[in-house]
């Protein structure tokens, strides 16, 4: 059974979401402060974490930073005000998506399902390897190697790399990336895709692989920094 962890100090909301997700066949576990939420998340066994920003003892940003040191479980962040700075901070900390409060539970479930469709591992028998310079992306094993060394990436970062590498040198639009990852086009002022790409750049460009932005269009992956 699919299992979600909900980390939010609003007990009424967590109870409502637990009931709603149960109707969709999803089991939930909840935590009402950051420290307990981190401990539960690190126990593993969850398909996705729904994480509020404003939490007692440890805020959502710090929880996510600590979690990302040891786990790539998908995370959707909830932001009370939906401010641009909060959204970007969450994405830079390692969130896969965000949703401002108040939100429609139907939209939260739709976003969660979209992420799960992209992050659940395919059959390992399928040969699905791309190489760009010294970067190797193996979608069967869900791994990335750079100069033979493993690169830690989140599930959505892996999907973005795979999109950019098929074939390398093709400009991939932000709408295409968002459509594959979230089943929605990029909204005005939405920087979700850009932040994911920015994080990827820091991981792969030291190894001689470039992700170049094409103004007003999207991104292109190539070997070499020239």
2-119 carries CATH number 3.40.50.2300: yes
Level-2 CATH architecture, domain 129-223: Orthogonal Bundle (1.10)
* Listed residue (225, 74, 89) closest to 158, CA to CA: 74
> For 57-84, how does the pLDDT look when each residue is reduced to its tens digit (9 = 90+)?
889 999 998 998 888 899 999 987 657 7
**Domain boundaries defined on the chain:** 2-119, 129-223
Task: For the chain, give percent helix, strand, coil, nearest 5.
Answer: 40, 25, 35
pLDDT at residue 192, rounded to an integer: 85
Q: Are 161 and 153 in contact (CB under 8 A)?
A: yes
Q: If you count DSSP H runs as helices and E runs as strands, how many of each does the chain have, helices first?
A: 8, 12
Distances (CA, A) of 32 to 14, 23, 26, 58, 225: 9, 22, 19, 11, 46
> For 7-19, how does the pLDDT look when each residue is reduced to its tens digit (9 = 90+)?
999 999 999 999 9
């Amino acid at each position: 059974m699919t299992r979600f962890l909900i980390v939010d100090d609003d007990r009424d909301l967590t109870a409502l979401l637990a009931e709603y997700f149960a109707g969709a066949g999803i089991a939930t576990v909840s935590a009402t402060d950051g420290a307990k939420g981190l401990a539960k998340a690190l126990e593993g066994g969850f398909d996705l974490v729904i994480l509020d920003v404003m939490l007692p003892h440890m805020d959502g940003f710090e929880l996510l930073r600590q979690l990302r040191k040891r786990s790539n479980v998908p995370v959707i962040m909830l932001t009370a005000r939906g401010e641009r700075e909060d959204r970007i901070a969450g994405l830079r900390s390692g969130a896969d998506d965000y949703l401002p409060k108040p939100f429609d539970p139907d939209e939260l479930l739709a976003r969660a399902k979209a992420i799960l469709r992209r992050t659940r591992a395919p059959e390992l028998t399928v040969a699905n390897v791309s190489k760009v310079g010294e970067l190797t992306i193996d979608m069967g094993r869900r791994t990335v190697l750079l100069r033979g060394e493993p690169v830690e990436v989140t599930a959505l970062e892996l999907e973005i790399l795979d999109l950019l590498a098929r074939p390398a040198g093709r400009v991939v639009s932000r709408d295409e990336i968002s459509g594959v990852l979230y089943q929605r086009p990029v909204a005005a002022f939405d920087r979700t895709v850009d932040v994911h790409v920015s994080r990827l750049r820091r991981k792969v460009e030291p190894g001689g692989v470039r992700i170049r932005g094409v103004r007003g269009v999207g991104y292109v992956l190539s070997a070499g920094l020239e």
